[in-house]
């Protein structure tokens, strides 16, 4: 209901293409829901106070005098003065009371936020300039896997992410699921996500982190437990050897060109750890940490000239012939 | 009052700009390298030995000049130096399995062009060729950084210390005396 | 003044028994500046320096505003390429740093420099030479930042310059050093003015002006001055440690060698939050002054407002962590700062209630300055309300570092400081230039600013809720922020138009505005006793004060103090609490040394970005200029 209202409000603001998947108003997580109702309470209470002040100002404006007048006698009237002191005093007490109530409300809402801090994290999230490395933990090395810029989580199960950074400070933020938490070099932070309904939620780095801070987003895919298990199983597997000839050629290009020195594709000799793990890059929805939706065209454009789309990105433009470019794009797209 | 204020501030601005003009090029960030940029061919002598005692002919390039003086390219080179695991053999420039890079003894020439050639082509006894493994721009960046390791670039452009443990001062703190001091102690693997 | 110069100078001529005209002429000669360029460079007159501060700060405002316009142009549509990320980062950093350090704080101190001595009834600010020095330092810092920006060395790490992004490894080149050293310049200058303000208010008040008789504007500037002295050292520690990390490789902020990235944030915000109040409290002082004059009665609850100013000043130092709620703090610590942040609503509320009571019980006459005060109520109170929201940890975790916060602090700073400042300019302009500003243009100015501001910044609240982070140079089309950003950009250009009108009105009125006379608004405080513009010596006779609004209490017969020298710069020192006359003291003469010392300091500061040795030889250089500064001159000893 409230969500509808919010979206209506937004539409009224002459918005085009309101996809609403990175919005604190469109909450889909337990934490985000608590915060949103607190936000609304604060907005209403504080809005009323603001309105009261504006009414007082309106009264002043109504009682204005057109011409300059001599000094007012109010400064000397003792009895009036005492009455006004009482009014101001009670307004002050009312302010203090409001502040106390709001503080208490805020305190109650923050309790669950701090309660789960000690739990162990099942996913490590590592911030890089300007992409997200995601490492899923497992009981055995075979169950661990690495991916980038896209996390899947099961609906209804709390998932704790440990937040780390190897370069500068980043901040992890999925407005639809929870508030933000910083990734700070030398500090261990974590955040808990609990998705209440399936969906794709967008998040973005919220702490200024350099040239491409604007293009450092990611997706959270919340899905039913079995779909999540399937996804995990698929991610754990090494990349399949391509059967088609052009894709086989693409695989060859990938390992013989500069690609392999920075990117890993498990199951091939490519083992670089500088850039994102591409083992299942074809299964992700976006390329370049949210720059463009993934398809043949966008991926080819990205490989040919990443700086045209994301100036300053650490991926260099790689000089490939048209055949090579097509082959390597087809190869990567096929890595589901 | 306003009238006479202006000449003064203009004068200050002018003096400041003149004194800082030299800094312009150091700070430019060429964050969109030419996607079609081709490799610059080099014509360097491969060794310092040459008949008749003449020094090897080394053709200097503008790109080399620019990269050595540019803070952004040097910083990128420093990052790549670590990412490409150059330290695996050269340590942080002090030398290990491979020769030291912070001293003043160079087997294949000390100019940036010579270093580019070394990285591009590889050298006997272990130095692999990086041609095609990384882009040519990245080779120039790494080479520029290698020059800075011995303190031979402008200190205002050279990288400073890392956010990591290190027993060496940042590149911007190194100068000719550092290079000399580093010479005898780190002459491993020559 | 050739005639006065020809007058034989007898030792220790007193102001008793002199004709008014002759007295004025002699005092003006004694306190006036030397002729020509040398006179312009050597003056220590608080009014001259205050005017320079004002003009420079308004130039900075215009430059910073231009950057804001570029920002809004870039963000008007998604994925635009008006500027690239590299330039954009320099632009938003320079906009923020410029507005905070080179506009907001100095412009308030400019008013303080100009008005405080007039309002407390003295002839110059304490330590006039320090005032001159502080102006040159401020000018040098401003020129330094802008020249760097033009040369593509503008800082690009945010006005908060968090490490490690600004640190030695990721802050490439000298850009972060420009930020850090610009801070040093402006801190030196604002600390200097703060010390001058405190001493002037404490020791140079006109006899009889007890602590509660001090005008509220002066109280606000006094509280601000103390806050500057306590807050600024923290940021100097932060910026200097940053320069040390970057230049000589110390490890203050390097986690792998035992430093901490969080430490920088604590140091920065220990300054950074009080900074907001350093900008806003002078604004409240201006509001008090304007409300008092235009509601035709003294401010209701004079003492209550003073107490709330002091309380705000103190509480402001207990809020800084609410900028860091997302860094992963322990709950108890974070909650403390929630409570403190909420508490500050109480003194701020008290001031608002007192002002409203004043307006409701007075007979308000609406002129442009009061219009801006109404704008202040509308905008600032809304900003205060969103301030209560960001004080709550859960809400802050959503809106922190989003456009919601951008909206919040522009509401607080533009509403709480710039609207009062515009009102104050309309209000005190006749005192400073002797001419009134155009009311007609003033009303246009107000409505354009009011509408433009709200159209530009209100949508940002919603953008923040919709998930738009701060400091992004662009945004994608698939997140639904297009419409509101376009609306906001449209508002921004209305706001730009309002400022263009404001500057036009100032420049035009300074030449052709109607003459004002000493007290055009029939106001009650002492600055309106002096002529407009005030003569070099401010007052022909030092007044004796018995009331907070002396010009209203004793309309025609303000008592005066006599027996003060007319041929040496002599001022009265009074006791701290009751302003009983204590002694006469010499006020400094014109001197070239502040300028020379400022040049030496500038050289030392800029050179120390490049070489640590500059701190050594630079100190020696500054030391030499200080020897010149303090070289003993034969002058009359201070008398009891």
Residue A262 touches chain B, beta carbons under 8 Å: yes
Q: Which chains touch B (3 or more CB pairs under 8 A)?
A: A, C
The pLDDT-based confidence of C33 (bands split at 50, 70, 90) is confident
Hey, what are C582's tokens? 């204590």
Interface pTM, i.e. ipTM: 0.93
Of B5, B23, B165, the CB nearest to C257: B165
Partners of A96 on chain C (C-beta within 8 Å) are 346
Indicate the DSSP class of residue A312.
Answer: T
**Cβ atoms within 10 Å, residue A235:** 18
The stretches of chain B forming alpha helices (DSSP H) are: 2-20, 24-27, 62-69, 71-83, 87-90, 112-121, 136-149, 176-185
Give per-residue pLDDT as tens, C601-617: 999 999 999 999 999 99
Tokens 């610590």 sit at which residue? Answer: C333
Q: Please provide the distance, in angstroms rounded to a whole number, between the alpha carbons at the two ends of chain C.
A: 31
Which residues are CB-neighbours of C110 under 8 A, at least 6 positions away?
Answer: C50, C51, C53, C54, C57
Hey, what are B177's tokens? 């005396």
The predicted structure's pLDDT at residue A80: 76
**Cβ atoms within 10 Å, residue A196:** 16
- Give the pTM: 0.92
**In this complex, do A257 and B132 lie within 8 Å of one another by their Cβ atoms?**
yes
Q: Say which range, B2-16, C193-207, C449-463, has the weakest mean pLDDT.
A: B2-16
Interface mutation vs chain C, best among A2, A15, A106, A220, most C CBs within 10 Å: A106
Partners of C326 on chain A (C-beta within 8 Å) are 171, 179-182, 206-207
Chain B nearest C-alpha distance from C506 (Å) = 13
Hey, what are C607's tokens? 């050179």
Is the dihedral angle over the CA atoms A37, A42, A43, A44 positive or is it negative? Answer: positive
Q: What is the CA radius of gyration of chain B?
A: 19
Residue A231 and residue B117: Cα distance in Å, rounded? 46
Percent of chain A with pLDDT over 90: 72
Q: Are C415 and C380 spatial neighbours (Cβ–Cβ below 8 Å)?
A: yes
Helix (H) or strand (E) holding C552: helix C550-553
Q: Are C192 and C105 spatial neighbours (Cβ–Cβ below 8 Å)?
A: no
DSSP β-bridge partners for residue C574: C581
Q: Are C409 and C275 spatial neighbours (Cβ–Cβ below 8 Å)?
A: no
As a whole number, mean pLDDT of residues C226-237 equals 95
**In this complex, do A312 and B32 lie within 8 Å of one another by their Cβ atoms?**
yes
Q: Are A170 and A207 spatial neighbours (Cβ–Cβ below 8 Å)?
A: yes
In a structure prediction context, what are the per-residue pLDDT tens digits for chain A, which is 336 residues long? 445 445 555 554 444 445 688 999 999 999 999 999 999 999 999 999 999 999 999 999 998 876 656 666 545 566 677 888 999 999 999 999 999 999 999 999 998 888 866 667 789 999 999 999 999 998 888 889 999 999 999 999 999 999 999 899 999 999 999 999 999 998 989 999 999 999 999 999 999 999 999 999 999 999 999 999 999 999 999 998 998 899 999 999 999 988 999 999 999 999 999 999 999 999 999 999 999 999 999 999 999 999 999 999 999 988 888 999 999 999 999 998
The three-class DSSP label of residue A209 is coil
Q: Please provide the distance, in angstroms rounded to a whole number, between the alpha carbons at the two ends of chain B.
A: 70
Task: Flag whether pLDDT at B13 surpasses 80.
Answer: no
Chain B nearest C-alpha distance from C179 (Å) = 15
Residue C416 and residue C383: Cα distance in Å, rounded? 8
Partners of A314 on chain B (C-beta within 8 Å) are 79
Tokens 């922020």 sit at which residue? Answer: C481
Tokens 């919040």 sit at which residue? Answer: C408
Which of C174, A98, A236 lies closest to B71, judged by CA? C174
Which residues are CB-neighbours of C468 under 8 A, at least 6 positions away?
Answer: C402, C403, C475, C479, C481
**Cβ atoms within 10 Å, residue C620:** 10
The three-class DSSP label of residue B30 is coil
The three-class DSSP label of residue C436 is coil
Percent of chain A with pLDDT over 70: 89
Helix pair C128-150, C85-97: axis angle to 10 deg: 170
Q: B149: number of CA atoms within 13 Å, CB side?
A: 31
Partners of B82 on chain C (C-beta within 8 Å) are none
Tokens 């974590």 sit at which residue? Answer: A190
Give per-residue pLDDT as tens, C64-80: 999 999 999 999 999 99
Residue C447 touches chain A, beta carbons under 8 Å: no
Tokens 């003492």 sit at which residue? Answer: C303
Interface mutation vs chain A, best among B34, B35, B39, B136, most A CBs within 10 Å: B35
Residue C605 and residue A103: Cα distance in Å, rounded? 45
Indicate the DSSP class of residue C585.
Answer: E
β-pairing verdict for A217-223 and A150-154: parallel
Chains A, C: CB contacts within 8 A come to 285
Helix (H) or strand (E) holding A161: strand A159-165
Is the dihedral angle over the CA atoms C76, C77, C81, C87 positive or is it negative? Answer: positive
The pLDDT-based confidence of B100 (bands split at 50, 70, 90) is confident
Task: Flag whether pLDDT at B33 surpasses 80.
Answer: no
Q: Are C561 and C541 spatial neighbours (Cβ–Cβ below 8 Å)?
A: yes
């Amino acid at each position: 209901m409230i969500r509808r209202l919010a979206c209506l409000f937004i539409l009224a603001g002459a918005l085009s293409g309101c996809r609403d998947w990175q919005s604190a108003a469109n909450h889909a997580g337990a934490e985000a829901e608590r915060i949103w109702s607190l936000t609304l309470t604060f907005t209403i209470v504080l809005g009323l106070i603001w309105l009261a002040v504006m009414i007082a100002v309106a009264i002043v404006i109504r009682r204005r005098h057109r011409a300059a007048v001599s000094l007012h006698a109010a400064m000397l009237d003792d009895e009036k003065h005492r009455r006004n002191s009482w009014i101001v005093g009670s307004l002050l007490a009312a302010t203090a009371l409001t502040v106390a109530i709001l503080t208490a409300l805020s305190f109650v809402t923050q309790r669950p936020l701090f309660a789960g801090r000690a739990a162990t994290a099942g996913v490590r999230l590592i911030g890089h300039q300007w992409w997200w490395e995601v490492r899923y933990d497992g009981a055995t090395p075979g169950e661990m896997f690495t991916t980038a810029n896209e996390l899947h989580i099961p609906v209804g199960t709390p998932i704790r992410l440990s937040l780390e950074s190897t370069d500068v400070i980043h901040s992890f933020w999925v407005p639809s699921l929870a508030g933000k938490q910083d990734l700070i070099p030398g500090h261990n932070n974590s955040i808990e996500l609990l998705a209440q309904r399936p969906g794709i939620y967008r998040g973005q780095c919220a702490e200024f982190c350099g040239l491409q801070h604007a293009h450092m987003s990611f997706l959270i895919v919340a899905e039913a437990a079995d779909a999540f298990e399937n996804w995990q199983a698929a991610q754990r597997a090494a990349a399949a050897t391509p059967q088609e000839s052009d894709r086989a050629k693409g695989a060859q290009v990938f390992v013989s060109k500069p690609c392999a020195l920075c990117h890993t594709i498990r199951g091939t000799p490519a083992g670089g750890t500088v850039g994102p793990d591409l083992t299942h890059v074809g299964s992700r929805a976006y390329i370049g940490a949210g720059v463009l939706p993934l398809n043949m065209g966008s991926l080819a454009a990205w490989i040919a000239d990443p700086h045209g789309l994301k100036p300053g990105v650490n991926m260099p433009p790689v000089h490939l012939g048209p055949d090579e470019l097509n082959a390597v794009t087809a190869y990567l797209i096929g890595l589901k | 009052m306003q009238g006479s204020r202006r000449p003064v501030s203009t004068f200050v601005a002018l003096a400041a700009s003149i004194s800082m003009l030299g800094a312009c090029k150091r700070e430019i960030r060429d964050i969109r390298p030419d996607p079609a940029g081709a490799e610059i061919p080099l014509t360097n002598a491969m060794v310092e030995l040459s008949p008749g005692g003449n020094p090897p002919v080394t053709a200097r390039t503008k790109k080399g000049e620019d990269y050595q003086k540019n803070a952004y390219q040097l910083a990128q080179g420093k990052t790549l130096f670590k990412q490409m695991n150059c330290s695996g053999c050269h340590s942080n420039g002090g030398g290990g399995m491979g020769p030291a890079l912070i001293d003043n003894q160079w087997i294949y020439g000390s100019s940036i062009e010579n270093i580019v050639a070394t990285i591009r082509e590889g050298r006997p006894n272990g130095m692999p060729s990086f041609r095609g493994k990384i882009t040519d721009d990245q080779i120039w960046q790494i080479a520029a950084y290698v020059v800075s390791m011995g303190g031979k670039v402008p200190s205002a452009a050279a990288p400073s210390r890392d956010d990591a443990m290190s027993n060496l001062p940042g590149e911007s703190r190194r100068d000719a005396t550092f290079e000399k001091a580093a010479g005898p102690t780190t002459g491993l693997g020559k | 003044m050739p005639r006065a110069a020809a007058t034989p100078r007898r030792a220790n001529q007193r102001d008793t028994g002199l004709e008014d005209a002759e007295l004025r002429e002699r005092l003006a000669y004694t306190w006036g500046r030397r002729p020509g360029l040398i006179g312009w460079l050597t003056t220590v007159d608080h009014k001259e320096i205050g005017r320079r501060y004002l003009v420079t700060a308004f130039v900075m405002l215009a430059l910073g505003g231009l950057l804001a316009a570029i920002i809004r142009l870039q963000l008007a549509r998604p994925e635009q390429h008006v500027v690239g990320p590299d330039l954009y980062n320099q632009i938003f950093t320079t906009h923020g740093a410029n507005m905070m350090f080179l506009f907001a704080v100095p412009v308030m101190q400019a008013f303080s420099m100009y008005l405080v001595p007039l309002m407390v009834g003295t002839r110059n600010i304490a330590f006039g030479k320090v005032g001159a020095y502080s102006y040159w330092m401020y000018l040098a810092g401003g020129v330094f930042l802008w020249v760097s920006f033009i040369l593509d060395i503008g800082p690009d790490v945010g006005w908060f310059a968090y490490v490690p992004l600004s640190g030695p490894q990721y802050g490439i080149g000298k850009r972060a050093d420009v930020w850090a050293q610009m801070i040093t310049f402006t801190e030196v200058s604002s600390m200097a003015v703060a010390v001058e303000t405190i001493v002037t208010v404490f020791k140079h008040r006109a006899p009889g002006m007890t602590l509660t008789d001090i005008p509220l504007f002066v109280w606000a500037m006094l509280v601000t001055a103390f806050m500057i002295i306590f807050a600024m050292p923290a940021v100097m520690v932060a910026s200097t440690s940053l320069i040390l990390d970057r230049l000589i490789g110390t490890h203050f902020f390097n986690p792998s060698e035992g430093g901490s990235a969080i430490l920088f944030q604590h140091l920065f915000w220990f300054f950074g939050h009080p900074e907001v109040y350093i900008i806003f409290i002078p604004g409240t002082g201006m509001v008090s002054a304007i409300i008092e004059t235009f509601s035709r009665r003294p401010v209701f609850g004079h003492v209550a407002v003073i107490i709330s100013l002091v309380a705000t000043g103190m509480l402001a130092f207990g809020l800084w962590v609410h900028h860091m709620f997302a860094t992963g703090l322990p709950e108890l610590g974070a909650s403390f700062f929630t409570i403190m942040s909420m508490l500050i609503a109480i003194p701020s509320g008290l001031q608002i209630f007192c002002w409203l009571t004043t307006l409701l019980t007075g007979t308000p006459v609406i002129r442009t300055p009061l219009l801006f005060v109404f704008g202040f109520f509308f905008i600032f109170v809304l900003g205060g309300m969103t301030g209560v929201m960001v004080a709550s940890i859960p809400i802050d975790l959503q809106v922190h570092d989003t456009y919601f916060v951008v909206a919040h602090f522009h509401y607080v700073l533009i509403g709480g400081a710039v609207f009062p400042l515009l009102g104050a300019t309309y209000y005190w302009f006749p005192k400073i230039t002797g001419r009134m500003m155009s009311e007609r243009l003033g009303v246009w100015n107000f409505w354009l600013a009011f509408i433009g501001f709200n159209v530009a910044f209100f949508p940002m609240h919603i953008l923040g809720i919709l998930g738009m982070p701060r400091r992004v140079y662009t945004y994608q089309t698939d997140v639904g922020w297009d419409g509101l950003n376009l609306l906001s950009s449209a508002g921004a250009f209305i706001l730009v138009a309002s400022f263009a009108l404001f500057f036009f009105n100032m420049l035009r009125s300074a030449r052709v505005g109607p003459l004002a006379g000493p007290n055009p608004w029939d106001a009650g405080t002492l600055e309106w006793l002096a002529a407009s513009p005030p003569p070099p010596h401010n007052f022909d006779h030092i007044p004796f004060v018995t009331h907070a609004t002396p010009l209203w209490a004793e309309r025609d017969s303000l008592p005066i103090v006599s027996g003060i020298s007319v041929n040496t710069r002599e001022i009265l020192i009074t006791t701290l609490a009751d302003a009983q006359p204590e002694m006469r003291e010499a006020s400094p003469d014109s001197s070239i040394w502040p300028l020379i010392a400022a040049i030496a300091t500038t050289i030392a500061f800029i050179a120390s970005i490049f070489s640590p040795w500059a701190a050594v030889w630079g100190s020696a250089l500054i030391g030499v200029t200080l020897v010149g500064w303090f070289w003993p001159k034969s002058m009359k000893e201070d008398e009891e």
